[in-house]
Amino acid sequence: MSHVWRPLFVALALVAGILIFRTFYVPKDFGVGEAGYMYGWHNFTNEKFWKEIKVKYQGSGQCKECHRENFTSIQKTPHGIIPCENCHGPGVGHPGKIAKLPIDVNRLLCLRCHAILKYPNSDRGKIRGIDPATHQDPNVECVTCHDPHNPNLGVLKKSPQRFPVYEQESKKEGRTAK
């Protein structure tokens, strides 16, 4: 056989080497799924990986089991639509490892909905809102006066008179409810 073919043999040996290596390296479950080769070429065991990710947000139904009183009372108010975990944090590990869930009482949490934005094509425009810069003392948490579980403005925890700005502002701006 002519020497001319020798580089070809080397090339073929390389290709064979790669193909043999491939049989050992590629996971056994690699193949074409239901979506076809273009959209479904993958390792089937990976689907299991994603299904087994731990759930963190348990849902308010879980909270109801122990905190029935709080759960039912908030249902009667406009805040009944807010899932417990939005303010109390994800319930994973509670009541086991985490005895008490940390409650987010930051003013910014309430402002997510109640900072006034008069947007005509969004239900945001219909939510009662305040101007965060002028409503009372920006350093005071909303829960000082307002009860998030009973956001009725008629039953404030603290009298608005304690904050003199309030009267003037509500007259001037006409924004704050009541």
Q: Which stretch binds another protein (CB under 8 A): 67-75, 116-124, 143-151, 160-168?
A: 116-124
The answer to whether residue 3 forms part of the interface with another protein (CB under 8 A) is yes
Residue found by looking up tokens 């994800």 in the block: 90
By CB under 8 A, which span of 29-37, 65-73, 138-146, 158-166 interacts with another protein? 29-37
Closest CA to 110 of 77, 141, 133: 141
- Which of 65, 96, 99, 121 is the binder for another protein (CB under 8 A)? 121
| Cα gap 117→111, rounded to integer Å | 10
Q: Are 131 and 163 in contact (CB under 8 A)?
A: no
Quote the CA–CA distance of 24 and 17 in Å, as a whole number: 11
3-state DSSP assignment of residue 30: strand
- Among positions 47-66, residues that touch another protein (CB under 8 A) are 47, 49-57, 59
C-alpha R_g of the chain: 31
Residue 75 makes contact with another protein by CB under 8 A? no
Binding site for another protein (CB under 8 A): 1-4, 6-14, 16, 18-20, 22-23, 25-26, 30-43, 46-47, 49-57, 59, 81-83, 85-86, 89-90, 108, 111-113, 115, 117-124, 127, 132
